[in-house]
Amino acid sequence: MRGVGVRLSREIAIIGAGMTRFHHKLHADKTSRELFVKAALEARGSVDNGFELPEVEALFVGNFSSDAFEGQIHMAALAADWLGICPRAATRVEDACASSGVAMNVASMAIASGAYDIVMVGGVEKMRGLRTEEVTDTLAMAADAVYEVGAGFTFPGLFAALASAHFAKHGSNWEQLAAISIKNHHNGALNPKAHFQSEIMETARKLGERNDMTFEDELEFLRSPLNPVIAHPLRLFDCCPVSDGAAVLILAAGDVARKFTDTPVYIRGIGQASDTLALHDRVDLTTMNAAKIAAAQAYEIAWVKAKDIDVADVHDCFTIAELLATEDLGFFPKGEGGLAAENGRTALDGDVTVNPDGGLKAKGHPIGATGAAMAYEIFKQLRGEAGRHQVDDVEYGLTHNMGGSGATVSVQVYGR
Amino acid sequence: MRGVGVRLSREIAIIGAGMTRFHHKLHADKTSRELFVKAALEARGSVDNGFELPEVEALFVGNFSSDAFEGQIHMAALAADWLGICPRAATRVEDACASSGVAMNVASMAIASGAYDIVMVGGVEKMRGLRTEEVTDTLAMAADAVYEVGAGFTFPGLFAALASAHFAKHGSNWEQLAAISIKNHHNGALNPKAHFQSEIMETARKLGERNDMTFEDELEFLRSPLNPVIAHPLRLFDCCPVSDGAAVLILAAGDVARKFTDTPVYIRGIGQASDTLALHDRVDLTTMNAAKIAAAQAYEIAWVKAKDIDVADVHDCFTIAELLATEDLGFFPKGEGGLAAENGRTALDGDVTVNPDGGLKAKGHPIGATGAAMAYEIFKQLRGEAGRHQVDDVEYGLTHNMGGSGATVSVQVYGR
């Protein structure tokens, strides 16, 4: 039986990438279609030897629910329409918060199938048309409507349960989550595309009326009532913000990629797995089985091991999610993810840099755009174009995009 | 450039198929997850040499908006969960009313890519939890929210515009649409899975207090106020009903299909194209460019021509849509589709049988399930298992699934 490793019959390369800034206010007057086009035009412009949109043979769009956010379904055809690339095939993929991570896999398989040589894949979400409480309810539709949402759960509560379970079983603690938050805000401050660009730590400094705050000072701020509990043990700064944005990649079959650029980034391996939607059906709340399996698939195809990964964008919708991911992806043994973060092993100069772009925590999380934005970051890292948050000596990168509380996980491994 | 024909590097076969009855009341106490499982279990049971669900390596689910209908997103992972096949990869595809037709293409490419040998693909929609007027508004989200819905359009109005344009340019008329409705209700009466099983014609007979009604009598009934105008020139019986239901196929790579059955049905060609969402951006309202292009792709790959097709399931959300499809798929010259229907050329014993299962008009149209239900019908037809609506001597079949008012079209060609 296959499905253990998703082998692909052709090489897949990224030849261009673009993304809007992720933000809560900046795109207030824009619709999803406009955000997607903005990111797509930047991707087009990023192709070294030039690229025209009609060269796109098929379009894949990750989107969570423009239905609920904008009253607009059929987003893939609409994106093709607004890009002026009709009659190219346009397909929307939705797997909750993993929508565009999964779309990356679908697009890769479309090329590998021989159907297309050049495809565009991206994601978009325009969330801030709704009020925050409406957004929370909309996002909760990715949990089990009958057994979780019907019982009062929304995602902060679900991830709080995961955090509590991990604390109890493995002795991790909230200070380790705070270390993840501080790291990601630090990285976001170096990323001009990020939603938060040091604003939160600046807030802490302002509130402390000092400019020389240490890590301990920041931690003290995060412990204070200025960082209120959302769902114990998670506080406000353990949760990603609600952002608008889009990200787009241009993929080409390996045999045509060099026509467009001398420095393509190859998708060396892909993986995808599912798990029960409802947490009560899981055997163990301290590990994401879908992440372990998707990662094992991607590593196997890419012929690499976890220790080979230099930089990873992982799905930190909540800080506990990053902690879990760094363990389930094999970067650290189970139970040691929090300690590793606290000890700086996931920092820009750490053993394996995690979320150099600020992650969902500081970069933002326009749901459907997140998987594609992760690929954007790793593309830049592997080409040495990540600017102030560039990691040194990157040979292999990884993206980990999660839907719901782990019912869908996609993983991609990248190399040059 | 590729994309003209979507060539696939492996043979794709259907080895099993199942569907629920489509109905407005029967599934009132069921959720989408339950409907999908019901269809999937029937598909499993239909595999000649036996099949167990863990043999499924990946799942693809077409669904339009369980968000709006049930407050549940993330339907693919949920279906995997309820089928008990986690951690298999599960991917939702949405392209409006073409969601599961496009999912068929995505699933085919997934096999052709070498990633998987055996996949499950299907679709589901549970619509009747909302009131009819709410359904109309929900469906309208597949049109252009800014330029069409914002101007007051819903789909009956959009398809009415297409009908008026066709009448004006090509001299077709409403009686030809009525002939399509009568044919599809006749076929639906022979299909135990159909939503309407001659109920409407029976209604006409009852209202006429006669049992010997002729075609002319039925036409007179359809002209009467008992068949009210919905959006001129379309009347109630020109519109498909609102139904709940699910349909599921099991696909296998050609080289493993014979392990499961001696009579697989092969997907010989696939095609997919897009068009502008808003009708005002189209050059010609009397042809669906996406249908022409998707069909040309599928024919080219399958090495067949339109005249080779013996039986077709086409997307008759409104009767005018079937008329347009029979022209755009090349069955009849442009402007002659209505006359062909009127002359019985698309009947069960016609030149090319169209919608032997009753079509969306009589079988029902649970949006996300429709493309998969079309494939279910053609699978049965090619195996000679369609029962009372079996067409004689079927060598090639075709499915045509449309999203919105033609902004997405998928086409598949099938053979033995």
Q: Based on the number of CB atoms within 10 Å of its own CB, is A130 exposed (0-12), middle (13-18) or buried (19 or more)? A: middle
The full 3-state SS of A159-175, as one line of letters, equals HHHHHHHHHHHHCCCHH
pLDDT at residue B53 in the model: 97
Rounded to the nearest integer, the mean pLDDT of chain A is 94
Residue B91: its chain A contacts at CB < 8 A? 93, 95, 102, 105-106, 272
Residue B369 is classified by DSSP as: G
pLDDT at position A7 over 90:
no
Residue B53: its chain A contacts at CB < 8 A? none
Q: Which residue has the tokens 């019982």?
A: A151
pLDDT at residue B5 in the model: 44
pLDDT at residue B213 in the model: 73
CA dist., res. B367 & res. B139, Å (int): 9
CA dihedral A301→A304→A305→A310, nearest 10 degrees, is: -120
| B174-188 vs B199-208: helix crossing angle, rounded to 10 | 110
Query: How do residues A38-74 score in pLDDT, each as one tens digit?
Result: 999 999 999 999 999 999 999 999 999 999 999 999 9
pLDDT at residue B337 in the model: 98
With beta carbons less than 8 A apart as the criterion, state whether B331 and B312 touch.
yes
Å from A408 to nearest chain B CA? 6
| Residues of A belonging to the active site | 97, 365
Q: Is B41 strand, coil or helix? A: helix
Query: How do residues A119-141 score in pLDDT, each as one tens digit?
Result: 999 999 999 999 989 999 999 99
Which residue in A91, A117, A118 is closest to B93 by CB distance?
A91
Which residue in A74, A113, A275 is closest to B403 by CB distance?
A74
To the question of pTM greater than 0.95 for the whole model, the response is yes
Q: Which residue has the tokens 């998969």?
A: B372
Domain boundaries, chain B: 12-130+241-415
Q: Which amino acid is at B18?
A: G
Determine the residue of chain B that is closest to A290 in CA distance.
B87
pLDDT at residue A214 in the model: 81
pLDDT at position A3 over 50:
no
Over residues B281-291, mean pLDDT: 97
Report CB contact under 8 Å: B9, A114: yes
Question: What confidence tier does A331 reach under pLDDT thresholds 50, 70, 90?
Answer: very high
Q: Is B134 strand, coil or helix? A: helix
| B226 compared with A37, residue with greater pLDDT | A37
Question: What confidence tier does B215 reach under pLDDT thresholds 50, 70, 90?
Answer: confident
Rounded to the nearest integer, the mean pLDDT of chain B is 94
B317 catalytic? Reply is no
- The dihedral built from the CA positions of residue B135, B136, B137 and B143, taken in this order, carries a sign that is positive
Query: How do residues A348-370 score in pLDDT, each as one tens digit?
Result: 999 999 999 999 999 999 999 99
Residue A259: its chain B contacts at CB < 8 A? none
What percentage of chain B carries pLDDT values higher than 90? 90
Residue B110: its chain A contacts at CB < 8 A? 106, 109, 113
pLDDT at position B1 over 50:
no
User: Which of A37, A72, A73, A401 has the most B C-beta neighbours within 10 Å, making it the best mutation to test the interface with B?
Assistant: A73
Which residue in B7, B80, B146 is closest to A114 by CB distance?
B7
pLDDT at position B211 over 70:
no
Interface predicted TM-score (ipTM) of this complex, two decimals: 0.96
Reading the block at residue B180, the tokens are: 């399509």
Report CB contact under 8 Å: B2, A106: no
- Catalytic residue selected from B97, B239, B240, B317: B97
Query: How do residues A193-239 score in pLDDT, each as one tens digit?
Result: 999 986 566 767 776 666 677 888 888 889 999 899 999 999 999 99
Question: What confidence tier does B136 reach under pLDDT thresholds 50, 70, 90?
Answer: very high
CA dist., res. A246 & res. A61, Å (int): 10
pLDDT at position A4 over 60:
no
With beta carbons less than 8 A apart as the criterion, state whether A411 and A271 touch.
yes
Question: What confidence tier does B6 reach under pLDDT thresholds 50, 70, 90?
Answer: low
Query: How do residues A271-323 score in pLDDT, each as one tens digit?
Result: 999 999 999 999 999 999 999 999 999 999 999 999 999 999 999 999 999 99
Residue A398 is classified by DSSP as: E
Residue A116: its chain B contacts at CB < 8 A? 2-3, 6
CA dist., res. B385 & res. A331, Å (int): 54
Could you tell me which of A120, A80, A116, A251 has the C-alpha nearest to residue B3? A116
pLDDT at residue A5 in the model: 44
Query: How do residues B239-248 score in pLDDT, each as one tens digit?
Result: 999 999 999 9
Chain-centroid distance, C-alpha A143? 18
CATH 3.90.1150.10, domain A12-130+241-415, yes or no: no
